A and B are shown apart, each in its own frame.
Chain A
């Protein structure tokens, strides 16, 4: 079975641009969460979606937004990119919102 898949794996953006990151959960999983991992730190919670509804939001500015589609895949959008947004963005899926989370390989975003 395929695990959590994220695309793209790497990308480079310029300050002020917009970026969209994509995540496909494990088949049958209805919950997707997004995390930001800055180099040398542990991942920080950004969003959780369950059944296409936002169930939780971390301490991130409104430049960050996300959505979940009927097939349970998800997009994370970041507007007006800053240098500090450079990080590994991880997607995790779980069957319900409160069960074991499985992580994808992440998208490495570099803002220059």
Chain B
């Protein structure tokens, strides 16, 4: 079985300051991990993915995440927040088995203050 825990339901930062969104996962198999972003009334957009290659993954819009197997974590970071980053962020796990159902965390709402 697989599961994802997003440790913060809301994160508020000031524009220009770093962003840290925390995610821990549980998986019986070697997982693939993803971060998706959802802007209001929009679909889900893939930010980045980890699929057992480099543990530091770079994504779109300056976001990156580091896979730490020993800590079962996959935290999302960005050096400098922009107003347009305000959205809901989902950490997602998929086990590398025949069925590739995605298991989503409960989401973290990022607010960016001017």
Contact = CB atoms under 8 A, between A and B. Distances in A.
Question: Chain A contact residues (Cβ within 8 angstroms of B): what range?
Answer: 20 to 34
A21 B85 CA distance: 31
Contact of A104 (B43, B94, B103): B43
Contacts of A105: 42-43
Contacts, number: 57
Interface string B74-114: 00000000000000001000101011111111110000000
B98 A101 contact: no
Interface residues of B, number: 20
Contact of A43 (B44, B94, B99): B44
Interface string A1-40: 0001000000000000000000000000001010100000
Interface of B: 36, 42-46, 49, 90, 94, 96, 98-107
Given A33-B101, A102-B46, 4 more contacts: A42-B105, A43-B90, A44-B104, A45-B102
